[in-house]
Amino acid sequence: MPVQKPDIGRLVDEQAKAIGLPIAPQYRDKVILNYQRSLAIAQPLLDVELDDALTPGPVFRP
């Protein structure tokens, strides 16, 4: 089944309400643009498959 593209404008509006972040109308378009850019930049990570056994370390040690 093809994955439907999200409605980023609606997602931004509803998510902002959920976390109590007022976004004034003059900022909204740029927030949407930046969310879209984030989706694109995050894609290589989202495409990665991870084993269930791979947990994040509670303390990161280099």
Partner 1 sequence: MNDPLSKQASASDVARAVMSGKVKATAVVEAALTRIETSEPAINAFTDVVGDRARRRAAEIDSGRHRGPLVGVPFAVKNLFDIKGLPTRAGSKINLDGPIAARDASLVRKLEAAGAILVGGLNMGEYAYDFTGENAHYGASCNPRDTTRMTGGSSGGSGAAVAAGEVPLALGSDTNGSIRVPASLCGVFGLKPTYGRLSRAGSYPFVDAFDHLGPLARSVEDLALAFDAMQGWDPDDPVCTDRDAEPTLPELGEGIGGLRIAVAGDYFERGADSVAHDAVERVAKALRATKRIVIPEAAAARSAAYVITAIEGSQLHLPRLRTRPQDFDPDTRERFMAGALLPGAWYVKAQRFRRRYRAAVQKLFEEVDVILAPATPCTAPRLGQVMMKLGGVEMPVRAHLGLYTQPISFVGLPVVVAPLQKPDGLPIGVQIIANHYKEAAALRVARHLEKEGVASAPAE
Question: Which stretches of the chain bind partner 1, using CB under 8 A?
Answer: 11-12, 15-16, 19-24, 27, 30-35, 37-38, 41-48, 50, 54-57, 60-62
Q: Report the nearest approach of partner 1 to the CB of residue 5 (Å).
A: 16
Q: In 10 A of CB 7, how many CB atoms? A: 10
Closer residue to partner 1 in complex, CB, 1/41: 41
Q: How far is the CB of 1 from partner 1 (least distance, A)?
A: 21
For residue 28, how many other CB atoms are within 10 A of its CB? 14
For residues 62 and 49, what is the distance between their CA atoms, to the nearest angstrom?
A: 23
Nearer to partner 1, 2 or 20 (CB): 20
Q: Judge whether 60 and 40 are in contact, CB under 8 Å.
A: no
